[in-house]
Chain A
């Protein structure tokens, strides 16, 4: 793959690695490349190693590469840390003061320190800009396209900021000479007009299209950038961002707003989700629509706050005490995040239940270059009775009327004659508290009927097939491993089944799509094999191998290939 390049910018926290990395990604995207990028950083604000990794290719790619062709190391620790990933013929751009030599890599030394001494407090971030300049030169990127982007990016900011960035870029660019050992060059093409979009952004945009108006949150990695998205677009899209005192409050505020008729969203990670559990159960009993984003990160407890894992699958499915219907969706990439979020709002409203969107840190922050998404969407608010004439003048409206589908029309506060009692205690049709065994069972069965109705609607939508449909080797996974597995399929002959709806579990569909006598390999970013156990619980499928990883990092392509090759 000559037209492919894997690039990394690495250094301590505080160098603006993420934003410089994003800028470099955009440069390559505008040169007609497909781009995939990710970022790794520790849970600390200064020091530690931050890195931004990007892969650019002329072909469609869906994950990072397993290697690095060009490393911009802003400190010597970065070289030590990432040298194992350097490819043959790779190059390291580093400060002239760094004496290290790495086998198989050529050293491109740039006077990072000297060039940026004059910038005082901005020295560090401008070192990253110098690195972008040097990278462009090393890869044969024209100055102009990068300079245009710098100007565009800092538009409206202090002219000094633009000036110093332009200067730092040019200094970086001009400071390196042609390097004969590093042969990778960019082949200029036409900008395909793709977006660079990550899971959190995709999900935020979808929620806005779905008519969500309130994000009620307490900040927690990896979903905090959804808050940032809402605050950035607060005015233009007329959104409300409410930062609550804790996650218990956050979800209850969302439930209150949803009860009053406003589509609302909450986003958190495992710890915050734990605090929300009682309210998820309330949404189940009181039948209040709720959409909850659970961005997983390694647990138990605070775990590895800025890394990735898929250890909350079972937890999401079993969230909330007691038996009640809910929906758990597991998007695998940014496009899935977009599509499933749109769906989550409609299902949640239609069936009046909590819908959980299960993502993870890798999915939340990894950016992919994708064409614009389709925006055709019909909002379905479910059964809302708002015609006072249709409502009797009763002391309380039958909020929980028994119906065949299990779905009871609701009324929103403000509606004449719609007064009702919505409640978490077990209740009768009017919402009055009941104690009798027979009444209890009737209401439990009514809620269960909603689940059955929903299952019918979801039939055929839970499992997506990729790869070789005739292969007996079947890889099964959910969530963010999708893109990496799809990359691995370029070398493996296998069928890949991506489970998109994890609850209700699409057992029949999985059975059908897996086919008879297949060898199942289940790939999961967790220790216990939670998806494997669900498959065992719901189907008779035999699992030949569980490929598990729980070190807080996503799979590499070669790990998948190695793990699946000889099964």
Chain B
């Protein structure tokens, strides 16, 4: 259903394959129609994922997948809108959009392929690289602390925040299904091994630490405590979920019908008269 003619050109063994397979399964199991799904993506190895899924795709600029997605959702709230990108894309170039997307609670799903490195530009540190991480451009190790996207998402007001692992397809697929069904801003930070450039955060590295949560926290404060864990144990699963009106639901105009389908009778004469 969601297969395309072309196949992905990621490095063999790349974590992106796990994300790709999880995503296709999730869409399938939710019985979604390809024409009703609109993907947006940024630039990076990650940003190519929608090319290889049979659905609508708008592959934009580095860091700008979210505003494109928000625009599509504003225009046609009947669509399922999913934004994809990498950790550099979303947490460096697009940080501003990320935070405001969360606080806006736009009904868009945001799946971040977090490989803790810049893949497509061949291995520079990313905002989620652990402190001391050695790359070609940081031979002595990075000197900045890693940012914690899950913590930021919760603190910024996202109503569904989860962490997944590309090496656990059944688990990730379920997270994606929940995110898609959720009403509001849903963020999944996905631990994604980059087998070519990140020799530290490997499948084994994540496997050893990934620790499945049973259920989400019921307050933001509790969720933030869980989100802070990053060490021997890294929690995966839904970390926070709450039921709030989405951005689109708060717009009175969109309650009537999607913007796309509105066809109001406009009284232009009145607009002219106001100026007299």
Partners in one complex: yes
- Residues on A close to B: CB < 8 A? 26, 29, 193-197, 201, 205, 208-209, 213-214, 216, 233-240, 242, 244-246, 248-250, 252-262, 264, 278-279, 282, 286, 372-373, 375, 395-396, 412-425, 431-433
Q: Which residues of chain A have C-beta atoms less than 8 A from B275's C-beta?
A: 195-197, 201
- The answer, among A29, A253, A423, for a CB contact under 8 Å with B70, is A253
Closest Cβ of chain B: how far from A300's Cβ, in Å? 24
| Closest partner residue, chain A, to B36 (CB atom) | A414
- The answer, among B68, B254, B262, for a CB contact under 8 Å with A256, is B68
Q: Which residues of chain B have C-beta atoms less than 8 A from A238's C-beta?
A: 253, 262, 264, 266
- The answer, among B4, B99, B251, B266, for a CB contact under 8 Å with A240, is B251
Q: Are B96 and A424 neighbours in the complex by a CB distance under 8 Å?
A: no
Q: Which of B4, B60, B276 is packed against the most chain A CB atoms within 10 Å?
A: B60
Q: Are A249 and B67 neighbours in the complex by a CB distance under 8 Å?
A: yes
Closest Cβ of chain A: how far from B210's Cβ, in Å? 32
Q: Are B51 and A433 neighbours in the complex by a CB distance under 8 Å?
A: yes
The docked-state distance in angstroms from the alpha carbon of A208 to that of B57 is 28
- The answer, among A26, A245, A425, for a CB contact under 8 Å with B96, is A245
| Closest partner residue, chain A, to B252 (CB atom) | A235
| B48 contacts chain A at the CB level, 8 A cutoff | yes
Q: Are B270 and A256 neighbours in the complex by a CB distance under 8 Å?
A: no
Q: Which residues of chain A have C-beta atoms less than 8 A from B252's C-beta?
A: 235
Q: Are A236 and B270 neighbours in the complex by a CB distance under 8 Å?
A: yes
- The answer, among A246, A396, A425, for a CB contact under 8 Å with B54, is A396
Q: Which of B33, B43, B57 is packed against the most chain A CB atoms within 10 Å?
A: B57
Q: Which residues of chain A have C-beta atoms less than 8 A from B269's C-beta?
A: 372
Contacts between the two chains (Cβ within 8 Å), count: 195
Q: Are A418 and B35 CB-contacts (below 8 A) given A240-B259, A257-B75?
A: yes
Q: Are A253 and B67 CB-contacts (below 8 A) given A260-B72, A433-B48?
A: yes
The docked-state distance in angstroms from the alpha carbon of A220 to that of B36 is 36
- The answer, among A209, A214, A233, A424, for a CB contact under 8 Å with B60, is A424
Q: Are A252 and B64 neighbours in the complex by a CB distance under 8 Å?
A: yes
Which chain B residues in 93-127 approach chain A with CB under 8 Å? 96-97, 99-100
Q: Which residues of chain B have C-beta atoms less than 8 A from A254's C-beta?
A: 71
| B56 contacts chain A at the CB level, 8 A cutoff | yes
Q: Are A419 and B34 neighbours in the complex by a CB distance under 8 Å?
A: yes
Q: Are A372 and B272 neighbours in the complex by a CB distance under 8 Å?
A: yes
Q: Are A205 and B38 CB-contacts (below 8 A) given A245-B96, A256-B75, A259-B68?
A: no
Q: Are B71 and A252 neighbours in the complex by a CB distance under 8 Å?
A: yes
Closest Cβ of chain B: how far from A277's Cβ, in Å? 11
New A-B pairs, 8, CB < 8 Å, besides A235-B252, A253-B70, A253-B71: A244-B67, A256-B67, A259-B58, A261-B76, A262-B260, A286-B58, A413-B37, A419-B35
Closest Cβ of chain B: how far from A9's Cβ, in Å? 20
- The answer, among A208, A258, A424, for a CB contact under 8 Å with B266, is A208
Q: Are B276 and A257 neighbours in the complex by a CB distance under 8 Å?
A: no
Q: Which residues of chain A have C-beta atoms less than 8 A from B4's C-beta?
A: 395-396
Chain B interface size, as a band, is 35 or more
Q: Are B61 and A259 neighbours in the complex by a CB distance under 8 Å?
A: no
Q: Are A249 and B100 CB-contacts (below 8 A) given A395-B3, A419-B54?
A: yes
Q: Which residues of chain A have C-beta atoms less than 8 A from B97's C-beta?
A: 245, 248-249
| B204 contacts chain A at the CB level, 8 A cutoff | no
The docked-state distance in angstroms from the alpha carbon of A395 to that of B34 is 10
Q: Are A256 and B259 CB-contacts (below 8 A) given A195-B272, A196-B276, A414-B36?
A: no
Q: Are B72 and A256 neighbours in the complex by a CB distance under 8 Å?
A: yes
Closest Cβ of chain A: how far from B21's Cβ, in Å? 17
Q: Are A279 and B271 CB-contacts (below 8 A) given A244-B67, A419-B35?
A: no
Q: Are B96 and A249 neighbours in the complex by a CB distance under 8 Å?
A: yes
The docked-state distance in angstroms from the alpha carbon of A220 to that of B75 is 24
Q: Are B79 and A252 neighbours in the complex by a CB distance under 8 Å?
A: no
Instruction: Kindly list the 10 A-B residue pairs having the minimum CB-CB distance in the complex, ordered from nearest.
Output: A256-B71, A252-B67, A260-B75, A195-B275, A238-B264, A253-B71, A257-B75, A262-B75, A256-B68, A245-B100
| B55 contacts chain A at the CB level, 8 A cutoff | yes
The docked-state distance in angstroms from the alpha carbon of A413 to that of B97 is 23
Which chain B residues in 14-42 approach chain A with CB under 8 Å? 33-38, 40
The docked-state distance in angstroms from the alpha carbon of A420 to that of B207 is 36
Q: Which residues of chain A have C-beta atoms less than 8 A from B253's C-beta?
A: 234-235, 238-240
| Closest partner residue, chain B, to A26 (CB atom) | B276
Q: Which residues of chain A have C-beta atoms less than 8 A from B55's C-beta?
A: 419
Q: Are A413 and B79 neighbours in the complex by a CB distance under 8 Å?
A: yes
Q: Which residues of chain B have C-beta atoms less than 8 A from A414's C-beta?
A: 35-36, 76, 78-79
| B268 contacts chain A at the CB level, 8 A cutoff | yes
Q: Which of A26, A209, A234, A396 is packed against the most chain B CB atoms within 10 Å?
A: A396
Q: Are A255 and B50 neighbours in the complex by a CB distance under 8 Å?
A: no
The docked-state distance in angstroms from the alpha carbon of A245 to that of B54 is 32
| B59 contacts chain A at the CB level, 8 A cutoff | yes
Q: Are B71 and A425 neighbours in the complex by a CB distance under 8 Å?
A: no
| Closest partner residue, chain B, to A193 (CB atom) | B276
| B6 contacts chain A at the CB level, 8 A cutoff | yes
| Closest partner residue, chain B, to A192 (CB atom) | B276
Q: Are A417 and B259 neighbours in the complex by a CB distance under 8 Å?
A: no
Which chain B residues in 217-276 approach chain A with CB under 8 Å? 251-254, 259-260, 262, 264, 266-272, 275-276
Q: Are A253 and B276 CB-contacts (below 8 A) given A260-B79, A262-B259, A395-B5?
A: no
| Closest partner residue, chain A, to B267 (CB atom) | A236
Q: Which residues of chain B have C-beta atoms less than 8 A from A252's C-beta?
A: 60-61, 64, 67-68, 71
Q: Which residues of chain B have C-beta atoms less than 8 A from A29's C-beta?
A: 276
Q: Which residues of chain A have C-beta atoms less than 8 A from B56's C-beta?
A: 413, 418-420
The docked-state distance in angstroms from the alpha carbon of A395 to that of B51 is 10
Q: Which of A209, A239, A248, A258 is packed against the most chain B CB atoms within 10 Å?
A: A248
Q: Are A260 and B96 neighbours in the complex by a CB distance under 8 Å?
A: no
Q: Which residues of chain B have C-beta atoms less than 8 A from A213's C-beta?
A: 259, 262
The docked-state distance in angstroms from the alpha carbon of A499 to that of B6 is 48
| B69 contacts chain A at the CB level, 8 A cutoff | yes
Q: Which residues of chain B have C-beta atoms less than 8 A from A235's C-beta?
A: 252-253
The docked-state distance in angstroms from the alpha carbon of A423 to that of B201 is 31
| B185 contacts chain A at the CB level, 8 A cutoff | no
Q: Which residues of chain A have C-beta atoms less than 8 A from B259's C-beta?
A: 213-214, 240, 257, 262
| Closest partner residue, chain A, to B262 (CB atom) | A238
- The answer, among A216, A258, A260, A424, for a CB contact under 8 Å with B38, is A260
Closest Cβ of chain A: how far from B130's Cβ, in Å? 28
The docked-state distance in angstroms from the alpha carbon of A422 to that of B55 is 11
Closest Cβ of chain B: how far from A110's Cβ, in Å? 30
Q: Which residues of chain A have C-beta atoms less than 8 A from B161's C-beta?
A: none
The docked-state distance in angstroms from the alpha carbon of A414 to that of B79 is 7
| B151 contacts chain A at the CB level, 8 A cutoff | no
Closest Cβ of chain B: how far from A443's Cβ, in Å? 15
A-B contact pairs, 21 of them (CB 8 A): A216-B71, A235-B252, A238-B262, A239-B253, A249-B64, A249-B70, A249-B100, A253-B74, A282-B64, A286-B58, A396-B54, A413-B38, A415-B35, A416-B35, A418-B56, A419-B35, A420-B57, A421-B51, A425-B43, A431-B59, A433-B48
Q: Which residues of chain A have C-beta atoms less than 8 A from B67's C-beta?
A: 244, 248-250, 252-253, 256
Q: Which residues of chain A have C-beta atoms less than 8 A from B72's C-beta?
A: 256-257, 259-260, 413
Q: Which residues of chain A have C-beta atoms less than 8 A from B78's C-beta?
A: 414
Q: Which residues of chain A have C-beta atoms less than 8 A from B266's C-beta?
A: 208-209, 236-238
| Closest partner residue, chain A, to B4 (CB atom) | A395
Q: Are A205 and B268 CB-contacts (below 8 A) given A213-B259, A253-B67?
A: yes
Q: Are A375 and B268 neighbours in the complex by a CB distance under 8 Å?
A: yes
The docked-state distance in angstroms from the alpha carbon of A245 to that of B70 is 12
Closest Cβ of chain B: how far from A409's Cβ, in Å? 15
Q: Which residues of chain B have C-beta atoms less than 8 A from A418's C-beta?
A: 35, 56
